[in-house]
Amino acid sequence: MNARTTQRLFLAAGFVMLTIAGSMIALTTAARFRAEERPAIDPAYGTAIDHPAPVFTLTDASGEPFSSEELAGEIWVVDFFFTRCQLVCPIMTLNMSRLQRQLDAAGMGEIRLVSISVDPENDTPEVITAFAGRYNADPERWTFLTGDRATIWPLVEEGFQLALDEDPGNTLMPITHSSRFLVVNREGVIVASFDGLTTGSIDALTNYLATLE
């Protein structure tokens, strides 16, 4: 290999490295701008987040497979519950029902709602169907999901990055889980987390959702 050929190879390699570096800077800058352009969140009720929503396939209330691909391109809100829970879950589900009504009233009925059971051994499709009915869940918009523990627990902890634990001695809430409502935008990014236990937070969440495109 002569000196001229070697020089050309070095120049080509340098060009490739500069191109890759430029692309990485552009992507990082674009991501930062997108985050900066997102609507503000009242810190009394929610916090901004910026990480991809996980991919999953679970089982819906009719016993059929439900894939996160069915939510692609949609804005959706997800929470976690189990039907034996006697503390936070009834409040959270009542507030999700409130959110459903408020979205309807605001003309935002296309926004999807998702509730995932963290107690799938007990929460069969039949059980979650009855549970959903008690809260007047619209099955076209509000999807209740179950599955198997080996799938759901890592999904919650690693995919949605929320705490989850067992507390067998607590008869009112033998599984401890987050009471947050997570917002996923049309790009499949989790962009916000709202308190699921107060009506003020649900009002703030409704207003926030109205600002998303």
Residue 12 to residue 201: CA distance in whole angstroms: 55
* Tokens, residue 111: 């926004």
**Residues of the binding site for Cu cation:** 85, 89, 177
**CA proximity to 125, closest of 69, 58, 79, 178:** 58
Other CB atoms within 10 A of residue 52 CB: 11
Residue 176 tokens, joined? 């401890």
Q: Which two tokens stand for residue 137?
A: 């869940």
Cα–Cα distances in angstroms (integers) from residue 182 to residues 120, 125, 161, in the given order: 20, 23, 11
Backbone angles phi, psi at 83, to 5 degrees: -70, -20
Known binding residues: 85, 89, 177
Helices 199-209 and 88-105 cross at an angle (nearest 10°) of: 40
